Amino acid sequence: MTETIMSDISRALPEIFLLVAAFSVLLLDLFLSKSMKIVTFLLAQLSLLTTAWLVYNRMGVESIATSATVNNVESVQYALAFSNMYIKDALSDLLKIAMLLIGSAGFIYTRQYLRDRNMFSGEYYALVLFAILGMMIMVSANSMLLIYLGLELLSLSMYALVALQRNNGRASEAAMKYFVLGAIASGMLLYGMSIIYGLSGHLDLTGIAEYVKSSGMTKAGSFDLGLLLGLSFILVGLGFKLGVAPFHMWIPDVYDGAPTAVTQLIGTIPKLAAFGMVFRLLVEGLGDMQTSWQQILILLAVLSLAIGNIIAIAQTNLKRMLAYSTIAHMGFVAMGILAGSNMGYSATLFYTIVYALTALGGFAVIMMLSRKGYEADQLSDLKGLSQRHPWMAFMMMIILFSMAGVPPTVGFYAKMMVIQSVVDANLAWLAVYAVILSVVGAYYYLRAIKIMYFDKADTETTQAETGHKIGLDSHILLSANGLSLLALGIMPGALMATCVAVINVTMK
Amino acid sequence: MTFEQIIFYFFSTILISGALGVVLVRNPVYAALFLILSFFTSSAIWLMLEAEFLGITLVLVYVGAVMVLFLFVIMMLDINMDPLREGFVKMMPLAALVAIIIAAEIVLVMASPSFNFDQSVVHAADYSNTKAIGNILYTEYVYPFEIAAVILVVAIIAAIALTLRRRKGVKHQNPSKQIRTKRNDRVRLVKMPSSSTQNRAGE
Amino acid sequence: MIESLISFWASLPIALTTVIVILLKIVAIILPLILAVAYTTYAERKVIGYMQIRMGPNRVGPKGWLQPIADVVKLMFKEVIIPEKSSRFVFLFAPIMVLAPALVAWSVIPFADGMVLADVNAGLLFVLAITSLDVFGVILAGWASNSKYAMLSAMRVGAQVVSYEIAMGFALVGVLMASNSLNLSDIVNAQAGGIDNWFIWPLFGLFLVYFISGVAETNRAPFDVAEGESEIVAGFHVEYAGMAFALFFLAEYASMILISALTSLMFLGGWLSPFEGTFLVNIPAIGALFDSGIHWFLIKIMIFLFFYLWFRATFPRYRYDQIMRLGWKILIPVTIVWLFGEMVAIGLGWTPWA
């Protein structure tokens, strides 16, 4: 008994560590004066990096161990813990490391921004740590119960983070919309899960997969109304959380209304977690219903690509524009998953990680241009950026190119891999459609670049900016961030190979 | 009909009429009272199913705490219910449709073989539902249980972070400081020469 | 005659006889309880009177012994006035809602070994749940009266009772950890074996918290902001008169006795004698007096009731924010720390009560 508990704890050690660290940050912050808040920041940063190190350090450890719950048969490498509710495999490890590192980078980017807005407090860091913990729980869940609980932990922290600036009316409005729609989405997801649970009698994904297999849904033309109903509700819930059209309504308002630091958080890490959740539920749990969910996902992808790319053109607000671009990108994620092949999943994993990196840099530029009492969230704020901050403008150009999918940035390669996997799945028309809409989308990215390089800055902007200092750490990080997009675009092999290997190992 | 069945139907009737009352009465306070009645009777039905822990917790948490706060809010707000009811007839068909769909789904799920209603489990007299729940909660379900606890903590942190504000210009007492005061902090003994000439001067 | 009664009894259907027996038991509990309530009011006036160096009631009957009876008769003949703009049903329903839980909770109280109406195995939870219902009556009374004093009082009571319930529940968790049972009889039996086995010693902090919360739960001085005569006249029952008012009175004192009974059950070994296991029990004629039995339970209840009266005579009323501070910032942390210590003690196998 104690032995299983110890092995359970050792498998979930990163999560447990992060939980303890979040509480420590919260407690320690109480005793720190306002000038000492930097300690909170450093401690939060240290927690994320230590957790990442813990995850990294324990990768593959389980394949050597020989415990009853470790399935070490040939190439299958995963370990279960806590009565098979927790799963530790290559996919969860990779996603966790990516989330933790991006979270840590986000902390560096947001430090100055939060200081300027009186949000540099223990609550912010504790809530972010709890959100990341929720996402870690989601990606290593082997039970619908855990997926839901992790999702709630994430959502609850996010709602609070969006509303954290109490006197900001727009932020409160965004939080309210986010909360109401998020609650509806959770309800939908939960309803779908309860239907599946009622039919199969299983909460764990392995049991559900077995039930689906035995129900005969694999055969073409078979029809099981109950399972389909459950699947549809789950897909609606996932659609909300991913932010694909037609469940995208909250994205522009929340991105726009939330403080940019929180927008950056919402726009990056949760996408990774959402991919993990979709993979666990659709591929591992309901994998045998692929023909059913493929059709729904095609619809979602088609709508997202159209709405995201076309409406973004009309935006003058940079954050809103990036929000619509997110919707379009999530359409690509849906496309990769619906291909239903290992290649497709690997491409999607690659795409999601790359997108998170890109969005991280994009929102970072907005924050670096913002000053105390002023949000640089309009497209016109980019005017003349090439004269004011040439290097930053160059980095922003790489980021926007990557979002648009212009070679040689990594965005191009990611899009290409997804499109290729869709073509392999005999959906060439979808691939053509995606390419056309990407070209449409390229317009508004290029327009932003044009504003940066060819429009003159307003004199007031230049004047207001004098005296506004941007931290060196943000500059270095942004350079690394932008250059990594370029480097990955030129040499995508290593990361892509990792993604392929991870998916292959995870898919048995 | 056995004695148990009579009790069951008795409680079910109250439960259903209570639930109807929640929706149908005009006064929101009465609706809340009906809701309390529904909670209470459903907890009685749970007790009949030997789920005494759940039953009592339902009363303790929902009736004893949640509904008190509910009543609080309802009493404080002056809710005008008429605008809320305006679209009742217009929305009726849609609502009925949704109700029918949900009912159909429930039937669909309940009809699946995983739900086996024929087996009724009879426990020994010393069976304790509380102990059984505790056992499974702290062994098999300890992981989700702890995460649920974390979610509650986050909810508390969020609630405090969003609502706590320190107003300026509010006078606060510090009780521990009050208690720690010594006589010397408050009373100052002053020696004054008591001469009659001074008194005169005062006048 | 007696034989024919017995045979008539046997001829009745079992369902009916069980119901009759249960009803008789209920009457056997409630009648003495109501009498006890009446004489608690008398004791209160006498005790406080003596503490303030005056006589207390001394006109009706010898030394005023019949005063409570006279009070009851007076209240019964007074008119129940219903305010014009009040919600009539809720106004009349509220006193019942206050009284019912205060009486229902007695169903699981064991008066002596095996002397209990319903020996449910989650008795502790049951009591906690039922006593938490008390607050509804008060809130409803405050709302239905359509008076601002009553409404203010309802608000105060609601916040106060909900806050102190948490500390109370935590204190009960400590008892349940020590006794390993939720059944009140089992809890008492777990304390058997002498006065040093009573839970009051290892759980002294929880005992204090529980009793203080109990005083707050019953809205008694010094936590009686709900009535606060000097500020809000008489709070939630300002509009009540006659029997409707009497019901509130009855409920308040029944809850007081209940809290006293629960405290003695959970921390002072209920019906167990402090001389259990000593030579005194073996003294021929009067040994039974020193042995465990219902009389010890009643004595313990009376001690706690005396505390209630003593508090009322000596403490000034807390201010509302002080009440909240005491509940949330002192009592709840104390219970949490104590529970943690108890957990460590149990984990290390150091259980003095076992």
DSSP assignment of A45-96: HHHHHHHHHHHHHTTTGGGT---TTEE-STT--EEEETTTTEEEEHHHHHHH
Four-point Cα dihedral A172, A178, A179, A183, nearest 10: 170
Q: Which of residues 14-73 of A touch B (CB under 8 A)?
A: 19, 26
- Interface contact B144-A198, CB threshold 8 A: no
Is the C-alpha dihedral spanning C312, C315, C317, C319 positive or negative?
A: negative
B150 and A CB contact within 8 Å: yes
Residue ranges per domain, chain A?
A: 2-507
Residue C169: Cβ within 10 Å count: 19
Residues of C in contact with B59 (CB under 8 A): 129-130, 132-133
**Which chains sit next to C, with 3 or more Cβ pairs under 8 A?**
B
CA-nearest residue of chain B to C163? B65
**Secondary-structure class of domain B1-82 per CATH:** mainly alpha
Q: Nearest CB to B3: which of C15, C135, C139? A: C15
Q: Which of residues 77-106 of A touch B (CB under 8 A)?
A: 81-83, 85-86
CB contact at 8 A, C182 and C266: no
- Interface contact B60-C143, CB threshold 8 A: no
Touch between B and A (at least 3 CB pairs under 8 Å):
yes
Residue C26 DSSP one-character state: H
ipTM: 0.88
Q: What is the pLDDT of residues C3-38, one digit of tens each?
A: 888 888 777 777 788 888 888 888 888 888 888 988
Residue A152: Cβ within 10 Å count: 24
- Interface contact B147-A85, CB threshold 8 A: no
Q: Considering chain C, what percentage of its residues have pLDDT values greater than 70?
A: 98
Average of pLDDT values for C193-218?
Answer: 86
Residues of B in contact with C161 (CB under 8 A): 68
CA distance B60 to chain C (A): 4
Q: Nearest CB to C128: which of B29, B60, B129? A: B60
CB contact at 8 A, A335 and A422: yes
CB contact at 8 A, A329 and A308: yes
- Interface contact B27-C87, CB threshold 8 A: yes
Sequential pLDDT tens for chain A (508 residues): 566 777 888 888 899 999 999 999 998 988 888 888 888 899 999 999 999 999 888 776 554 443 444 444 444 567 888 888 888 888 888 999 999 999 999 999 988 888 888 888 888 999 999 999 999 999 999 999 999 999 999 999 999 999 888 888 888 899 999 999 999 999 999 989 988 888 888 888 888 888 888 876 655 556 677 788 889 999 999 998 888 888 888 899 999 889 899 999 999 999 999 999 999 999 888 888 888 888 899 999 999 999 999 999 888 888 999 999 999 999 999 999 988 888 999 999 999 999 999 999 999 988 888 887 778 888 888 888 888 888 889 999 999 999 998 888 898 999 999 999 999 988 899 999 999 999 998 999 999 999 888 888 777 766 666 667 777 888 888 899 889 988 988 888 888 888 888 888 887 6
**Distance linking the first and last C-alpha atoms of chain B:** 100
Average of pLDDT values for C85-96?
Answer: 82
CA distance A20 to chain B (A): 11
Q: What is the pLDDT of residues A138-177, one digit of tens each?
A: 999 999 999 999 999 999 999 999 988 888 888 889 999 9
B134 and C CB contact within 8 Å: no
Chain C interface test: which of B63, B75, B170 (most C C-beta within 10 Å): B75
CA-nearest residue of chain B to C14? B3
CA distance C302 to chain B (A): 28
CA distance C183 to A373: 62
B73 and C CB contact within 8 Å: no
- Interface contact B109-A195, CB threshold 8 A: yes
Q: What is the pLDDT of residues B168-181, one digit of tens each?
A: 777 777 777 888 88
Residues of B in contact with C151 (CB under 8 A): 75
Whether the model clears a pTM of 0.80, i.e. scores above it, the answer is yes
Query: Distance of alpha carbon C128 from its chain centroid, rounded?
Result: 11
Pairing of strands A86-89, A70-71: unpaired
CA-nearest residue of chain C to B44? C126
